[in-house]
Amino acid sequence: MYKTAMIIDDNYTDRYIGEIRLKKHPFAVDVILKDSATSALEYLTLHANEPHALPEVIFLDINMPEVNGFEFLEAFSFLPELVHQTCSIIMLSSSISSEDHQRAHDNKFVRSFVSKPLNKEKLNNILVS
């Protein structure tokens, strides 16, 4: 089990489902919910030097207004080394595009690609890997 996880998703229902899943599983003690990539980046920048405040796992949605998942990943690469070392990113999307899958795979910060909705099996797989 992780200490802290973060969910970045513009959709309220999906954040709600994610929070319940992570807490019930249990997957993480604390779950930080962010409704946009920008607010998530703000948080990560703010706590860039506090390893205990940084989420160990970030569930990242792809299709979001303003800054989407891939743009978040680009901005993420400019964050301090400590953030990269602490946070592993899991793409959580309802996308069935093979291009999106490939693009996620090719990014060095992305640990895996998980299709929505989150369930026990998928969370187990993440914990095992």
Token readout for 71 is 């743009």
List the one residue from 21, 28, 40, 89 that touches other proteins (CB under 8 A): 21
Which regions of the chain does DSSP assign to beta strands (E)? 2-8, 28-34, 57-60, 88-93, 110-115
Q: Show the binding pattern over residues 49-78: x = contacts other proteins (CB under 8 A), - = does not.
A: --------------x---------------
Residues β-bridged to residue 112: 90
User: Which single residue is written with the structure tokens 């998703």?
Assistant: 9
List the one residue from 1, 3, 20, 74 that touches other proteins (CB under 8 A): 20
The answer to the question of residue 36 lying near other proteins (CB under 8 A) is no
Applying CB under 8 A, which residues contact other proteins?
A: 11, 13-14, 17, 20-21, 24, 63, 94-98, 115-119
